[in-house]
Amino acid sequence: MQFLADYLEQVKAARLYRQTVVYKPVSAAHVQLNGQTCLLLASNNYLGLTHDPAVRQAAVDAIRLYGTGAGGARLTTGTFPLYEQLEQELAAFKGAEAALVFNSGYMANTGIISALAGPADVIFSDALNHASLIDGCRLARARVVIYRHADMEHLAYLLQMTACAGKRLIITDGVFSMDGDIAPLGSIVQIAARYKALIVVDDAHATGVLGPGGRGTAAYCGVADKVHVQIGTLSKALGAEGGFVTGSGDLIDYLKNKARSFIFSTALAPATIAAALAALRELSARPELVAKLTDNVLHARTLLQAAKIPVPAGITPIIPVIVGDSGIAVRITSELQQQGLIITAIRPPTVPAGTSRLRLTVTAAHTREELTAAVHAIRRTLTLCGKRRE
């Protein structure tokens, strides 16, 4: 078992050691850590719906009605009434024929890609796609061709140059999870049409965030009816847990019969499905939720720019501050933690070597004052650590 200790030594030496920290949630935007209440600028709870009274109540009611666990997989005894309701409303929300819920976004991606592609097919995958998409490609045992991040000329070139006897799939994050930029779906749709390629978009960070009513990246880009497979999560802006896919009735039927992560795992618990359903209804009933998020994002991005903190231009709640070195990224985030601010340091292999960063996420649960104070603290700390000049 020496290899275990050897590996741990190695990641520690490279400043890439990871460990879990217990944060006690006290609200959608605050946690307690070592007795101190801290502001969370690191959560994907974009609309603060984890702590919404109606959402919490729906989860409690579901436990009273249906118990704590599903007790079976979806195709055996795990499909209780709330599931059908949630899938119908997700399909309506996305303007699709049908929807299917998976136990997590990770399981949606691995299950869907490995069901759609096989050894005769070629997958064209953005270089910065999420790990769960990469793992889905590996499970599919298809040939994977990686195009430079969001580089449409490169994608078109590779499609042209790559012989393919089977299907072509183009797979991309909608909003990239560590950079916060948006996939150029308008161009992808045009290029895909030339090669009859299927398009799969993972909207983990766009569901409830981007596009009219938070309908996602394809809606934002005006191509909702041209993206064949739209994946989302219930675990981020919707404040619950799980992943989902929307598309044609045939697609959903096919996945029910073929996606192994759907078939061979116990259905999500009633409380989780009830929470997701209630959250989806809150999202539709209260457009001011997404408006508040958008307003906070603009406020934070404007302040960061004014403070000469190097962040790329953008409009999403994911704001990377790239510092390069892993050790410095960790040092900055622990300094900020001392000041009551939780921001995650993102290091390789999550991001490419030399691009370690602070990953800030803004939510609708933050107040403007909190965001203003946070930007001041980040500015001070970056200056102290030599990552920003006055």
Ligand X SMILES: *Cc1c(COP(=O)(O)O)cnc(C)c1O
Which residues are marked as active site? 177, 205, 236
Under the criterion CB under 6 A, does residue 109 sit at the interface with ligand X?
A: yes
Under the criterion CB under 6 A, does residue 202 sit at the interface with ligand X?
A: yes
Q: Which of 87, 121, 173, 181 binds ligand X (CB under 6 A)?
A: 173
C-beta separation of 317 from 175 below 8 A: no
The encoded tokens of residue 257 equal 């019969």
Applying CB under 6 A, the span of 87-95, 153-161, 197-205, 340-348 interacting with ligand X comes to 197-205
Least Cα distance to 155 among 176, 171, 139, 141 occurs for 171
d(CA 311, CA 319): 7
DSSP state of 353: T
Applying CB under 6 A, the span of 98-106, 116-124, 143-151, 222-230 interacting with ligand X comes to 98-106
d(CA 64, CA 54): 15
Site for ligand X in 288-307 (CB under 6 A): none
Q: Which residues contact 251 (CB under 8 A, 6 or more apart)?
A: 98, 228, 229, 245
Q: Which residues contact 288 (CB under 8 A, 6 or more apart)?
A: none
C-beta separation of 238 from 273 below 8 A: no
Which residue number, 168 or 205, has a Cβ lying nearer to ligand X?
205
Applying CB under 6 A, the span of 99-107, 279-287, 343-351, 365-373 interacting with ligand X comes to 99-107
State the residue number with the nearest CB to ligand X: 105
Residue 283 Cβ vs ligand X, minimum distance, rounded to whole Å: 17
Residue tagged 């009219």 (tokens): 212
Which residue number, 52 or 241, has a Cβ lying nearer to ligand X?
241
CA angle 251, 237, 23 (to 5 degrees): 125
Residue 78 Cβ vs ligand X, minimum distance, rounded to whole Å: 18
DSSP three-state, residue 244: strand
Residue 359 Cβ vs ligand X, minimum distance, rounded to whole Å: 11
Site for ligand X in 10-69 (CB under 6 A): none
Count of chain residues binding ligand X (CB under 6 A):
14
Site for ligand X in 306-365 (CB under 6 A): none
Q: Which residues contact 208 (CB under 8 A, 6 or more apart)?
A: 46, 47, 214, 236, 237, 238, 283, 290
Binding mask 208-237 toward ligand X (x if CB under 6 A, else -) reads: -------------------------x-x--
Under the criterion CB under 6 A, does residue 205 sit at the interface with ligand X?
A: yes
The b/e string for 81-99 (b: 16+ C-beta within 10 A; e otherwise) is ebbeebbebbbebbebebb
Under the criterion CB under 6 A, does residue 204 sit at the interface with ligand X?
A: yes
Q: Which of 93, 106, 124, 262 binds ligand X (CB under 6 A)?
A: 106
The encoded tokens of residue 282 equal 């809150």
Which residue number, 52 or 173, has a Cβ lying nearer to ligand X?
173
Q: Chain centroid to CA 87: how far?
A: 19
The encoded tokens of residue 157 equal 């070139």
Applying CB under 6 A, the span of 29-37, 187-195, 199-207, 339-347 interacting with ligand X comes to 199-207
Under the criterion CB under 6 A, does residue 130 sit at the interface with ligand X?
A: yes
Q: Which amino acid is at 202?
A: D
d(CA 93, CA 263): 25
Q: Which of 43, 45, 110, 177 binds ligand X (CB under 6 A)?
A: 177
Q: Which amino acid is at 40?
A: L
Which residue number, 31 or 133, has a Cβ lying nearer to ligand X?
133
Applying CB under 6 A, the span of 180-188, 198-206, 218-226, 257-265 interacting with ligand X comes to 198-206
DSSP state of 175: B
Residue 304 Cβ vs ligand X, minimum distance, rounded to whole Å: 22
Q: Which of 111, 208, 243, 320 binds ligand X (CB under 6 A)?
A: 243
Which residue number, 43 or 381, has a Cβ lying nearer to ligand X?
43
Residue 124 Cβ vs ligand X, minimum distance, rounded to whole Å: 17
Q: Which residues contact 222 (CB under 8 A, 6 or more apart)?
A: 186
The residue ranges that bind ligand X (CB under 6 A) are 104-106, 109, 130, 132, 173, 177, 202, 204-205, 233, 235, 243
